[in-house]
Amino acid sequence: MTSHELQKIVLAEPRGFCAGVDRAIEIVERALAKFGAPIYVRHEIVHNTYVVNNLKEKGAIFIEDLAEVPRGATLVFSAHGVSKAVQREADARGFTVFDATCPLVTKVHVEVAKLAREGYEFIMIGHKGHPEVEGTMGQLDHGIHLVEDVDDVRRVQPSQTEKLAVVTQTTLSVDDAAEISAAVRMRFPRIREPKQQDICYATQNRQDAVKLLSKQVDVVIVVGSPTSSNSNRLAELARKLGVDAYMVDSAEELRPEWLAGRQRVGITAGASAPEILVQHVIERIRALGAVAVRRMDGITETVKFPLPKGLKLESS
């Protein structure tokens, strides 16, 4: 790289951990500190390899099936939320449960339960198989229909349309969700929509930041794990805006050829990716020749969620 081609790094603001992820990790760490290892966690607490491995080292055991948890153990539900069936099974097996479901996901569950009592059926916009979708759809035994795209909206067959409501996975692409919502409204003009949109503030803010970032850089690196829905959406969004984008779980995955001849490298991170991974990626790009790091102007997030009862640590 010649001297007049010095590479610059531009950091998206905001990026990385959101309040729901912060809270979920703190719940597991406090449970370990208060009750000692092992603490069982149903599903990855958040979708990030580094975070999960770090908690495993501290004594967390991640499971998918509650049959793997010994009777009377302490169990944490992941930030993505769980179905009523999983809650009932946990109660029946006598676990001490701490629920790390993100409060913004819980808000959707509460809305579904309330409207179901009033006789509503639901259209859910989300990704099939994602644990958050399984948790939300599992709030009811029937009457909740998943749509993943506009084609699904054309095909979906609720049993009635008088009382119909729409809910959304919290980590979707804001633009895709808007397009699918528009198709839902067109087919079911009287459908009830949530007072506040279900897509969470952190997903919206990180996507808005990538829209700004993409105008300023030649390539975007998204720090996030392959299982992270919101991280995948950030990379997709940058590509949609005409910029090459690559997702890395760690600095080791960064390939020098992605950056060759690119003067401005944008970096962001999904809501479950810790800042330490972003710093590792910056160090790696600096080692490859970048000389300056600039932070974009962006929203400062101040959201904080309270912890569940029973996790207060005795002050030393």
Query: Which residues are known catalytic residues?
Result: 132
Residue type for position 89: E
C-alpha closest to that of 190 among 114, 112, 121, 117: 121
Helix-helix angle 49-58:19-35, to 10 degrees: 10
CB 32 within 8 A of CB 54: no
130 φ/ψ sector (left φ>0, alpha ψ -120 to 50, else beta): beta
Separation CA 112–CA 99 (nearest Å): 18
Count of C-beta atoms within a 10 Å radius of residue 215: 10
Separation CA 144–CA 159 (nearest Å): 10
Quote the tokens at residue 272.
Answer: 């479950």
Query: Phi/psi of residue 9, each to 5°?
Result: -105, 135
Separation CA 278–CA 284 (nearest Å): 10
Separation CA 289–CA 8 (nearest Å): 9
Separation CA 23–CA 103 (nearest Å): 10
Query: Phi/psi of residue 142, each to 5°?
Result: -160, 170
Sheet strands side by side (includes 121-125): 144-147, 121-125, 164-168
Separation CA 176–CA 174 (nearest Å): 6
Query: Phi/psi of residue 41, each to 5°?
Result: -125, 125
